[in-house]
Structure 1
Amino acid sequence: MVKKTGRPGYLQIADELREQIRSGSIAPGEPLPSTAQLAETFGASLSVVKMSVGLLRNEGLVVGQQGKGVFVREDAPPADDVRAELTALRAAVADLTSRLERLERGASPRSAKS
């Protein structure tokens, strides 16, 4: 069920489906429930569900087959790979943030007058 948390419903649904895929509740090669079934399950409109599935498609977790449905990719990255990648991305962002702060301090008007 989509909750009124301020977080868009399509992101909440995508998070839930992503977790089901990562945990193996929906295994590689298996179809996602239909758009209508997902809309009923989450209490959301069809367009919100379609946005959620589109997000998972863009992430490479699912693929659509015309007239057949949307399926979990056989070669979807395992959860451990995703966690490691996320950790690496967080470290890179922290490093870039630190470097940017140093650059901004060096370019501040006060340091130019010194």
Structure 2
Amino acid sequence: TPVETLATAQSVPAQSGPLPFFSLTAAEETTSLSYTMADKDVVYGLGEAIRGINKRGWRYESYCNDDAGHSEDKHALYGAHNFLLVDGAALFGLFVDFPGYVSFDIGSTARKAMRISLAGRTLICI
């Protein structure tokens, strides 16, 4: 990440090669991870995000927006809890250690498509 967040307790060495589960697209303004979900995949996580325990079918934004009105029409809350678990055809977890804007489209635009977008061009580690 561009800023050392100290979000992990242990340093994990960088590795090169293809990312497991995700395809990567990097442009000047956005770095995106894409994953094709199976029909019965359930997605858990994202901390204090609104909606139910299964995050599938919605879009979430993480940028620590200090807005007192925590209603269903909001996409971002104050805290950034960029950790999710996918349980279904594959079982894996993902932690996005990024201090800037992150968007999670978890089957909102297209039912089987998960797309995670980070502001700017950044290093991706899974």
TM-score computed with the length of structure 2 as normaliser: 0.23
Q: Which has the higher contact order (CA 8 A, sep 6+)?
A: 2
Q: Larger Rg: 1 or 2? A: 1
Structure with greater helix share of residues: 1
TM-score computed with the length of structure 1 as normaliser: 0.24
Structure with greater strand share of residues: 2
